[in-house]
Structure 1
Amino acid sequence: MDIAENAALVVVDVQQGFEDAGFWGPRNNPGADDNIAALIDVWQSTGRPVVFVRHDSVGPRSPLRRGQAGNDFKEYVERRRGRTPGGAELLVTKTVNSAFYGTPDLDAWLRAAGVTQLVVAGIQTNMCVETTARMGGNLGYDVVVAYDATYTFDLEGPFGWRRSAEEVAQASAVSLHGGGFARVVTTKEVVDAAR
């Protein structure tokens, strides 16, 4: 795998509110946070651009709404913000699933920097990570999703169908990879290629 010298790491919604198991329910991939931290560290040590995305929920009950502690980034992410060399770092805030519909304009920032490849990680695999990856693919970026640097939660859909977090995450990965929106790989593959 090739990771471009200016590939952007897009860290999606790694916020404290996702620790609220009473709100979200069971999750998968307990190692995701370590993998997200490893990706940020490699990106910062190699001088590649990092985009931190924060979801400012408008849902009145959401732990991610502005003004709540859950809106803040997880501590390990907050500690790494502002440490990307050369100022190649961006904070995007959004109220919808896609980081491309946030503020400031992610697509414009990436194009101005000549970025054509994105590595996407964060929360939730099947929601904001998948939507951001799909839109990135639609916009012509070479998108890589570090699957084990994402996680999600059990989900109920139509007809009483219920799927475990792992089933939901796998379905998302199959849809992204099989549909040609992104290459879904492991954190180790990305880290090894980026060093």
Structure 2
Amino acid sequence: MADDVLILIDQQKAMLHPKWGPRNNPDAEANIARLLADWRRRGAPTVHVKHDGTRPDSPFRPGQEGNEFLPLTAPRDGEMVVAKTVHSAFIGTGLAAGLQAMAGAGGEKPPLVICGALLANSVEATVRVAANLGFRVRLPGDACWSCDKRDLTGRLWPAEDVHQLTLALLDGEYAEVTTTEAILAGTR
């Protein structure tokens, strides 16, 4: 079987923009960095997904500081970088073909570990499409974060509630929700 591919979603300076509001999981970036360090140590495949915003008011728009990678988890030479313009990293990109090229000797799709931000946005969209394409996905919930979200009735949902509900919706159906420690310990 092929090595698990680590996919980091939207680890860019735009995620620090105040427009996102209060968030949960202040340790998410450190957990993402721990996973990335382990993948690099083992020489396992890593994909950095970068959002190139197309709207004039997007903090992710190319040419702005927000489009740059966060230094803690920035890609190194030789690591795959995929630029997306929508929520899912699979739409309008070469990600699926790139992952298929990483397939093991038997041609099976490599298993994925997906993390990053925002959980209830680009991470969720990417996880759902990955599962629908037949990839096995593990999602370390502590290597993702969420922000407060107001629903259509006007109720404000705290970031931690948004986070836990999103993990519950994805677990079992689209991904195996796990932790950074379990992945680093080799738990499958």
Q: Same fold (TM over 0.5)?
A: yes
1:129-184 CA-to-partner distances (Å, cap 9, x unmatched) read 11101111111011000110001211112111221111111111000004x10001
Choose which of 160, 166, 181 in structure 1 pairs with 2:174.
181
When the two chains are superposed, the root-mean-square deviation of aligned CA atoms in Å is 1.4
Q: Percent identity?
A: 40
Q: 2:32 matched to which residue of 1?
A: 36
- Whose helix fraction is larger, Structure 1's or Structure 2's? 1
Range that drifts further, 52-61 or 6-15: 52-61
| Runs of 5+ consecutive residues of structure 1 not aligned to the other structure | none
- Whose strand fraction is larger, Structure 1's or Structure 2's? 1
AA partner of residue 91 (structure 2): Y
1:60 aligns with 2:56: yes
1:110 aligns with 2:99: yes
Q: 1:94 matched to which residue of 2?
A: 84
Determine the C-alpha separation between the residues in 2 that align with 1:176 and 1:55.
Answer: 22
AA partner of residue 101 (structure 2): A
Determine the C-alpha separation between the residues in 2 that align with 1:24 and 1:112.
Answer: 35
Determine the C-alpha separation between the residues in 2 that align with 1:154 and 1:58.
Answer: 24
Choose which of 140, 154, 159 in structure 1 pairs with 2:153.
159
> What displacement does 1:5 show?
5.2
Regions of 4+ moved over 4 Å: none
1:55-83 CA-to-partner distances (Å, cap 9, x unmatched) read 111122221111110111101122x522x
Determine the C-alpha separation between the residues in 2 that align with 1:106 and 1:134.
Answer: 14
- Any conservation in 1 of the 2:2–2:102 contact (CA below 8 Å)? no
Aligned residues: 182
Query: Tell me, what secondary structure is at the counterpart of 1:9?
Result: strand
- Any conservation in 2 of the 1:97–1:127 contact (CA below 8 Å)? yes
| Runs of 5+ consecutive residues of structure 2 not aligned to the other structure | 104-108
- Any conservation in 2 of the 1:5–1:48 contact (CA below 8 Å)? no
1:77 aligns with 2:73: yes
Query: Tell me, what secondary structure is at the counterpart of 1:133?
Result: helix
Query: Tell me, what secondary structure is at the counterpart of 1:10?
Result: strand
- Any conservation in 2 of the 1:92–1:102 contact (CA below 8 Å)? no
1:46 aligns with 2:42: yes
